[in-house]
A and B are shown apart, each in its own frame.
Chain A
Amino acid sequence: MKKTNLFLMIFTVFVFIFLYAPMVIMVIFSFNEAKSLGVFTAFSLKWYEKIFTNTEVWVALYNSVWVGAVVTAVSIVLGMMMALAVTRFSFVGKPILDALILIPIIIPEITEALSLLVMYVFLNIPLGPLTVIIGHAAFDVAFVTVVLRARMAGYDRTVEEAARTLGANELQTFFRITLPVMYPAILAAGLLAFTLSFDDLIKTLFTTGPGFKTLPLIVWSSAARGGVSPDLNALSTFAISISLLFAVFRIRAEKKMRGV
């Protein structure tokens, strides 16, 4: 009993090292005075100063945020309707639809990205923010639907019937009962959609137009240009912090969702 506990603990520690060592190294060296990655000479914020005075970074951040916001809104609305459809109504082909929702989650991202590009070219749609948004949303809807569907499956619909017997029409019931009861799940799904969009590189890379860059995109392009560099470490650390923040929000929302 004791032995297995010790073994499990050592094992867990190794897994954590394996998972987080690269990130920790990157974060540490983003505060390194020297340019080299070999030795840590002194603590410095100069790389952060360098990126925060760079307007390209601010524009990219702005782009990432507003694209993320639009994608989140679109995914929530579509995902909600999708989840409602598959949990409340029975129609021909429902099991197929139910399974199809999962496909964007399981196929490789590069395939999604390429297929998007092929479609845009085929339809002759000029690449730019719109195509990025469509690309992100088309796949984030799947994640949102899965989260909301799980919540709805465990949701007792008699509260809606109770509202009906108390004089609420269908619309009032939806806005005063269904939506508020679903709210933690919607929040969790929304934060997930935002994080997915905010972190996305591959789909953005394939579907963006000239001059439209998001945060992951400038990280990638500067890495491609000059290899790893301290200012890139700082930029990535910054991007990770934002994602982390949203992840914390999401976990809290999910906890609340299970609590209700």
Chain B
Amino acid sequence: MYSVELDNIVKRFGNVAAVDNVSLKIRENEFFSLLGPSGCGKTTTLRIIAGLEEPDSGVVRLHGQDVTDVPTHKRNIGMVFQHLALFPHMNVFENVAFGLKMRKVPKNEIKDRVKAILEVVDLSGMEARRINQLSGGQQQRVALARALVTEPSVLLLDEPLGALDLKIRQHMMVELKNIQRRVGTTFIYVTHDQTEAMTMSDRIAIMKDGRLQQVGTPTEVYFKPMSAFVASFIGEAINLIRGRIQDGILTTQDLGQPILVNHGENSSEAYLAVRPEIISIDNELEGLDNILDGIVRDVIFKGSYIEYRVEVGPRVFVVHQHSRALMQRNFTVGERVKIGWRRNEGAIIPSSGV
């Protein structure tokens, strides 16, 4: 059984289709991320799952049950809001206890459960603090504890780390994933930050203009993008080569030579997507399916890796090489080099994703 299922959800605001025919199946105990640029409909999708927004059409199921017409407070979900929405007139204990009170849990049990969850989020002893006496990271964890203490069947998180600075954010990413493992609940995590999504998620759904682009594990969406949008949205850089495929060979006007690809179908228009770290660079290369001659145009030292920009005909390839290679050899601007990769290491974006 799935934790959350969306069937053909559509939601319009005036002329804008905020969510355009989205279908998703999210598994039990999965850390699932909705990733996409600003305004692509992530929040709206999350709010539809929470029942805070009513879809124009489509079905929402929680644990197999149709909840499309069930009001929010009866859905047994938890939600962490982007701006946290902690109750300003209550202290930490009262904030966290609120959901249990609404469920008429006995007083003693409330105390125990609040104490236990505050331990999980590492806030023990903070019960009596007022909200404005907490740091951003602490407020974050109160919001998390408040949403988790009722043991919701699914936890919805809307860019919960957006307001934090980088250091705390990185720390919280690890924390969130640990907490998710400990409590064993489905997390649906909305973000426009691919690092967050890649770091924590079991699977990622990438959205654009209200539509789902691709759903897959972080490595799948990274190495096997199914559309040009996903290819360039995910990761730092990618080499996209447009051309036609005939019998496992991609021909393109840019490059004077045919490129070998692993793709059975013929296609008049497709992209080959090659990540920069897949490509080897050297003065001489052997044993690779595709080898091109080029000239180094740029060398950028980025710490753990070096970025080379290599001109091949009218094209520029981005190549990343591990910094360790610097110990042996580095290439200078203007130097003639060969770059190459194996045919099975590039991904073909089918014509539907062009």
Contact = CB atoms under 8 A, between A and B. Distances in A.
Interface stretch (B84-92, B197-205, B261-269, B345-353): B84-92
Interface string A146-180: 00000000001011011111111100100011001
B77 interface: yes
Contacts of B86: 159, 162
B73 A260 contact: no
Given A166-B98, A169-B73, A172-B102, A161 B89 contact: no
Nearest to A162: B85
A239 interface: no
Contacts of A159: 85-88
A28 interface: no
A181 interface: yes
A176 B95 CA distance: 11
Contacts of A260: 88-89
B72 A165 contact: yes
B229 interface: no
Contacts of B81: 158, 161-162
Interface string B242-253: 000000000000
Contacts of A180: 89
A180 B103 CA distance: 20
Contact of A181 (B89, B102, B156): B89
A164 B52 contact: yes
A165 B79 CA distance: 6
Interface in B92-114: 98-99, 102-103
A165 B78 contact: yes
Interface residues of A, number: 19
A162 B87 contact: yes
A143 to B, nearest CB: 24
B150 A167 contact: yes
A167 B147 CA distance: 11
A129 to B, nearest CB: 37
A165 B50 contact: yes
B62 to A, nearest CB: 13
A167 B99 contact: yes
B202 to A, nearest CB: 23
Contact of B83 (A156, A165, A181, A183): A156
B105 to A, nearest CB: 10
Nearest to A183: B89
Given A158-B81, A162-B79, A167 B102 contact: yes
A158 B83 contact: yes
B146 interface: yes
Nearest to B47: A161
Contacts of A172: 102
Contacts of B78: 165-166
B72 to A, nearest CB: 4
A156 B78 CA distance: 19
Name, among A156, A161, A163, A167, the residue most crowded by chain B CB atoms within 10 Å (CB to CB).
A167
B88 A161 contact: no
A161 B78 CA distance: 11
Nearest to A181: B89
Given A167-B73, A167-B102, A168-B73, A161 B85 contact: yes
Interface string B69-81: 0011111111101
B52 A167 contact: no
Interface in B120-136: none
A166 B146 contact: yes
B48 to A, nearest CB: 13
A162 B152 CA distance: 14
B85 A164 contact: no
A176 B76 CA distance: 19
Contacts of A162: 79, 81, 85-87, 146
B77 A165 contact: yes
Contacts of A181: 87-89
Contacts of A168: 73, 98, 102
A4 B73 CA distance: 61
A50 B99 CA distance: 60
Given A163-B98, A168-B98, 8 more contacts: A158-B85, A159-B86, A164-B72, A165-B147, A165-B156, A166-B78, A167-B73, A183-B89
Interface of B: 50-52, 71-79, 81, 83, 85-89, 98-99, 102-103, 146-147, 150, 156
13 contacts: A156-B83, A156-B85, A161-B85, A162-B81, A162-B86, A163-B87, A164-B71, A165-B78, A166-B73, A167-B73, A167-B102, A168-B102, A181-B87
**Chain A to chain B: the 9 pairs with minimum beta-carbon distance, closest first:** A166-B99, A167-B102, A158-B85, A162-B85, A165-B79, A164-B72, A180-B89, A159-B85, A168-B102
